[in-house]
Structure 1
Amino acid sequence: MEAFLVSTGIVALGEMGDKTQLLAIVLAAAFRKPLPIIGGIFVATLVNHAAAGAVGGWVASALGPDVLRWVIGVSFLLMAGWMLIPDKIDEDESQTRSRLGVFGTTVVSFFLAEMGDKTQIATVALAARYADVVPVVLGTTLGMMIANVPAVFLGEKIASKVSMTLVHGIAAFIFGVLGVLTLLNVGKLF
């Protein structure tokens, strides 16, 4: 349960102001069809994070526990720093339109935008940190949906009322705490 809750919370916070959240807003404005966009976000995220979770599980099994602890701890600390750097959506991603329709365009756009993104890297690190990959992938996917579904429906109204600097600061703090606790070999967070 800890893996699921931590993964959900970290990704929900980490996704605020992220380029994929900005992409959700752009897709919502361009297509004005929230349900296929939400479905596309869900499918793309689940596939992307399942692959990232598998990589994290492999990393955990391939490295010894001491090396793994240092790799994960340092990864979380690097993620804390990365969270403090705001994302901007690439122009190419915002212009994506194809014969795939709203759902297909969303799946392809979101999947590609997630490649190497903070939340994908966080999923790899979380899957390596926790023994069971499934709760991590389900948690990170839920975290993405928590952040992106309101973005699809409310778009820029949310962005103008919430301080992204504060949200990123909180997420950076959480990643920092996880990094330190991992390096200190603290087994349970709660």
Structure 2
Amino acid sequence: MIATILLSFGVLFLAELGDKSQLMALTFALRYRWWVVLSGIAVASVAVNLIAVAVGHFLGAALPTNLIALITAVILLGVGVWTLREVHSPEAETEQPRHAVAPNSGRALFVVISAFLLAELGDRTMFATIALASQHGWFGVWLGSVVGMVAAGGLAIAIGITVGKHIPERAIALGSGLLFLYIGAATLLSTFEMGRVAEMGLAAVAPLAAGLILWLLRRRDNRVDPAPSLTEQH
């Protein structure tokens, strides 16, 4: 049992390193409180790994992976657009103390759980769990897989917290919004099976285009509402 748990932990932890799920964890950690993100990852990990070990290869082959990827991409792109919309809003011009207005924890938890659950269904880590469950005890594989997935997410959250301490709130919102767009675009492109390198390269177009639009809007706003001169201030 212990050997199975350690094996499953190692396989899932290594499979998650550098995966889009870990990048999602880091991105969410920049936006929401760490315990909300970690709780969402834990719930999603429990559910998706239970599905993998319980139903095995039959459900794995039957999963509509392209449809799931499409839904996930729409959710992530929507979150990215909404985040960037908040960055450009007039209220965002005034820098507020960090976490002065914390996002609704219930809504944030639902977003994290939904995004991770959809992202992991049909992902390579799920099929790794299925393969392990076909050769080892299901409970040991399930427990090790859950702990490995949560540990990888926790590592990404720790990085996000460390980075976030040294970055202004507005910059965090901007960066997380662009990252959401990137992950969403990469997930959407994965349905075309064009190769991982091509997916990651083309996905960069989405955040670059969004950044350009925000820059143009910023320039336009500065021209419409120029800063008051010293004479006007007195």
TM-score normalised by the chain length of structure 2:
0.49
Matched with 1:81 is none
Q: Tell me: CA distance 1:36–1:94, structure 2 relative to 1, closer, same or farther (3 Å).
A: farther
| Greater displacement, 144-153 / 40-49 | 144-153
- Deviation, 1:3, is 1.3
Alignment of 1:93 onto 2:76: yes
Task: Please give the residue correspondences for 1:43-82 in structure 2 after superposition, counting only pairs within 5 Å.
Answer: 43-56=43-56
Q: Deviations over 1:63-82 (max 9, x none)?
A: xxxxxxxxxxxxxxxxxxxx
Q: Which AA in structure 2 matches 1:101? A: R
Q: Distance in 2 between matches of 1:129 and 1:94?
A: 38
- Deviation, 1:30, is 2.1
Q: Which AA in structure 1 matches 2:153? A: N
Matched with 1:124 is 130
Q: Distance in 2 between matches of 1:145 and 1:94?
A: 24
Q: Tell me: CA distance 1:42–1:114, structure 2 relative to 1, closer, same or farther (3 Å).
A: same
Matched with 2:89 is none
Percent identity over the alignment is 31
Q: Tell me: CA distance 1:18–1:91, structure 2 relative to 1, closer, same or farther (3 Å).
A: farther
Q: Deviations over 1:147-187 (max 9, x none)?
A: 110211213979xxxxxxxxxxxxxxxxxxxxxxxxxxxxx
Q: Deviations over 1:75-97 (max 9, x none)?
A: xxxxxxxxxxxxxx958526437
**Alignment RMSD:** 2.8
- Deviation, 1:57, is 8.0
In the TM superposition, structure 1's runs of 4+ consecutive aligned residues that sit over 4 Å from their partners are 89-92, 97-100
Structure 1 stretches lacking a partner, 5+ long:
60-88, 159-190
Q: Which has the higher contact order (CA 8 A, sep 6+)?
A: 1
Q: Deviations over 1:99-139 (max 9, x none)?
A: 85111111111000101111111111111111x20110100
Structure 2 stretches lacking a partner, 5+ long:
60-71, 83-102, 164-234
TM-score normalised by the chain length of structure 1:
0.59
Q: Distance in 1 between matches of 2:40 and 2:155?
A: 15
Q: Tell me: CA distance 1:117–1:57, structure 2 relative to 1, closer, same or farther (3 Å).
A: closer
User: What count of residue pairs does the alignment treat as equivalent?
Assistant: 127
Matched with 2:39 is 39
